[in-house]
Structure 1
């Protein structure tokens, strides 16, 4: 059962978090292009699509910690430090996405943004991606693990 849960957890992370990380990273330069050329319908459509990808896959991403908790419980590692830190970083990444990235993307699409807003958004997106990179490293390295990884 552990292998199944772990496989679903990893696949969910790849399928759900990966697209959010990529689309969120692509959003600021695409939004700058759309802001610089308001008549460019393609740039605006691309920006809207990237925002939609971020919203939808962020919602789908809830599956990742659900299966992560199930896997950790099955492995008996819920109290391990590396897992607790990973959970905290995952929660922080979720807050950054929900409170800082998605609302700013929405504001830019609604016309409340300028170039400075896209630069700030790029910074928050970078923080989100760095948090997920740290979680990924912790999941692979698992400091103190007895599995030899």
Structure 2
């Protein structure tokens, strides 16, 4: 014990040399671990991406189905309204005769407006020619 107290304290460093193969093995294990973590992350990202695509596809399909159902409802309502209109018009009289009379009246009004417009344009053209030539008859 006396020797311990008298001897100066010295720190000894012990160099432990690992063989090169052990060092490479440790590095390789670290790389493998990192690669496995990266592979796991990539796999998780792929799954998340696929799930997102599936959700979006389901949402698009749901919206399409919903739009189609709304369109079919409107179509049925329009069809029912036209059937009801036909039944009312048949109860009141012939539908085709009323439609023909209405179309004839509409065409007559259109023809009258067109003829008035054409006569107005022709009158203006003749008046312009008379004014330019100075010939008044």
- Give TM-score, length-normalised by structure 2: 0.28
* TM-score, with length taken from structure 1: 0.26
